[in-house]
Structure 1
Amino acid sequence: MATPAQKQESAARRANNRARGLARDYPRVRAQPIYRGRQYKITRRCINRLMLFSPGPEPDEFNNFVGYCLAHAAARYGIQIHSSLWMSNHHHTDLTDPDANLVPFKQLLHSLIARGRNAQLGRSDSVWSGDGPCDTRRPTEGESLMDIVYTLTNPVEAGLVKWSRQWPGFTTIGWRFGETRTFKRPKGLFDDKGDMPEEVSLTLVRPPIFSELDDDALYEKLMDAVRERELEVHRYMRKHGRRFMGPRKLAGQRWNRAPQSFEERFTVTPKHAGPCLRLVLKEVARDRAWERDYAAARALLLAGKPAVFPAGTYWMRRFAGVDVISQAP
């Protein structure tokens, strides 16, 4: 239950967001650039924060289902997966998008997960929250590495398990870069005579960072950072007298329940993240310049004049056939 102070803070954030929109010197642009070769952390949560992805007492079936959907969507659109972890009510996946196929990849992945999970649970309502996904980018190599650390240690951060490897749900913790794992088509979810393959494989691709390190050295660097973050959380938990839930209680977690913690409302969904404010603001400025060019091209198009949209335009290029500046290789 929100307190009066929390409600006032939410109202103030909403008014501030509205004022920021009015301060723009160009019409609002909902689109965002989709460039080839960009790295992203995609995050999406369940509707009403329901724990629809609770692994349950026998998580192998659920983990095979998630792995199958993720591997199939990644293979179809050429997405390179660096890490992925599915919490009880949301997921984090770090990836590189070589061919600017982020949008159809997410659509296919989230559609397969939603329909399949509904079939498994015997429900027919929405699975994903209407707030939409959150896709963020990091400006430096070190922050990209810590993005993966955050993904892999998310169950520890949430106080669910003491060590990341104990998470019973789907996770790529323990996968080495270049390692391939195979997932079988889940029974009862797809037509045996349909076009879904019987087996799909997913190879964990190293992120394009720290090129001076080989795959094994980068993996060890990642695991050292994971262990350091885990120990930081342990110290925090001891200091505040908190205990981890543990795998036994997680096994009894019900999918139709939601966390009772208060959640802030009317916050801005981030597109960039990082501890260095200067670099983040630099990325934000680039996005603002792109939006300004996009808005100008859209105005010309609506006026019936020749218009060329900036590089990275996705929807208008694919569905409206507009001219787009080619992206530099």
Structure 2
Amino acid sequence: MSQPRHIAPGATYLLTRRVMRRHFLLRPDTAINQLLIYALAVSARRYGIEVHALCAMSTHLHLVVTDVQGVLPRFLQFFHRIIALGTKALRKWEGPVWDHEATSVVRLVTQAAVVEKIAYVIANPVAAGLVRHASEWPGVKVDVGDLGRGVLHAARPSAYLDPKNPQWVEQATLPLALPPAIQQENAEAFRGQVGAELDRQEAQAHAEVERQGRRFLGAERATAISPYERATSFEGPGERNPTFAVGRDQGDAWRTAAAAVCAFRVSYRTALERWCAGVRSALFPVGTWWMRTFHGVKVNDVVLAE
């Protein structure tokens, strides 16, 4: 049985979804970039999601978002469905678009984690050996200077979306929000922190490429790859998929977050056992989403220790 997912209104997450069998279906081009921005803008507005950073790689998609209303599963379902159906239409693809593994959802518990993971998202094309600097990536992305003040725009894609359906507006706009822990007066300092972390990660990627005796592919060659090809680099099965992140050298925060996750899971399992035994008054811990949404279980309104 999979672990229960804790969904908390106001939580910030790193989200990752991978393409089936690592095909290059999201290879950057005008049509795919338009679809990604439009789908994200419409989905975020529908579910009250604040988007902080994103980077669309050819084989996977990274987002850093805040789930203001505690409806993250609904957002992911809607957003990924639009991307999948639009991609199938654009690429004339008959099989599934997304990998069968569930979306990786990592809660960012501290500001240090938010800084590191936003830099990680921005640096992804560099770490993959595609471009030497993140700003060169031709896919959908956010630059450091856009954090908390940039705006992405996209017209409604002609593929898949019915212009007669009022939910598919002609123009969609996506403002990039600051993470909730960052006040507007501290925005420039925050961007400076992310920029410094991005420089560190880019330098690390440069050293690794040099160590392996490789060269960066380059933006032009990256956009010329067939979307029907697959990545050939090694990726081990069953890699670690963390529930939360606290950033480097945050031992106390890690122990606190780990204890909270364990407490939630123990409380959830106990309540689930009682509910399955027919005790419909079983009280589930705050953050229970699936059982509350689909079975209407009772949820405790006392927040577990963070």
TM-score in terms of structure 2 length: 0.91
Between the aligned partners of 1:132 and 1:175, the Cα distance in structure 2 is 29
Out of 291, 296, 305, the residue aligned to residue 316 of structure 1 is: 291
Percent of residue pairs identical: 31
Between the aligned partners of 1:212 and 1:199, the Cα distance in structure 2 is 28
Amino acid at match of 1:298: L
- Whether 2:273 is the aligned partner of 1:299: answer yes
Residue equivalent to 2:103: 133
- Whether 2:217 is the aligned partner of 1:230: answer no
* CA shift in 2, pair 1:54/1:210, >3 Å: same
Out of 239, 242, 256, the residue aligned to residue 267 of structure 1 is: 239
Out of 82, 92, 104, the residue aligned to residue 112 of structure 1 is: 82
Greater displacement, 194-203 / 104-113: 194-203
- Whether 2:21 is the aligned partner of 1:48: answer yes
Amino acid at match of 1:41: L
Amino acid at match of 2:242: P
Between the aligned partners of 1:120 and 1:112, the Cα distance in structure 2 is 12
Give the secondary structure class of the aligned counterpart of 2:213: coil
Out of 165, 174, 185, the residue aligned to residue 156 of structure 2 is: 185
Greater displacement, 193-202 / 299-308: 299-308
Gaps of 5+ in 2: none
CA RMSD of aligned residues (A): 1.9
TM-score in terms of structure 1 length: 0.85
Between the aligned partners of 1:70 and 1:250, the Cα distance in structure 2 is 23
Between the aligned partners of 1:87 and 1:203, the Cα distance in structure 2 is 21
Residue equivalent to 1:285: 259
Residue equivalent to 2:61: 91
- Any conservation in 1 of the 2:151–2:176 contact (CA below 8 Å)? yes
Residue equivalent to 2:7: 34
Residue equivalent to 1:6: none
Residue equivalent to 1:248: 220
- Any conservation in 1 of the 2:53–2:147 contact (CA below 8 Å)? no
* CA shift in 2, pair 1:310/1:181, >3 Å: same
- Any conservation in 2 of the 1:29–1:291 contact (CA below 8 Å)? no
- Whether 2:178 is the aligned partner of 1:203: answer no
Give the secondary structure class of the aligned counterpart of 1:151: helix
Greater displacement, 29-38 / 106-115: 29-38
* CA shift in 2, pair 1:156/1:267, >3 Å: closer
Moved over 6 A (4+): none
Between the aligned partners of 1:39 and 1:292, the Cα distance in structure 2 is 23
Gaps of 5+ in 1: 1-27
Out of 108, 112, 125, the residue aligned to residue 155 of structure 1 is: 125
Q: Give the total of aligned pairs.
A: 298
Between the aligned partners of 1:188 and 1:210, the Cα distance in structure 2 is 38
- Any conservation in 2 of the 1:179–1:203 contact (CA below 8 Å)? yes
- Any conservation in 1 of the 2:51–2:66 contact (CA below 8 Å)? yes
Out of 127, 134, 141, the residue aligned to residue 171 of structure 1 is: 141
Select the structure of larger CA radius of gyration: 1
Deviations 1:35-65 (A, max 9, x none): 111110000101111111011xxx2222111
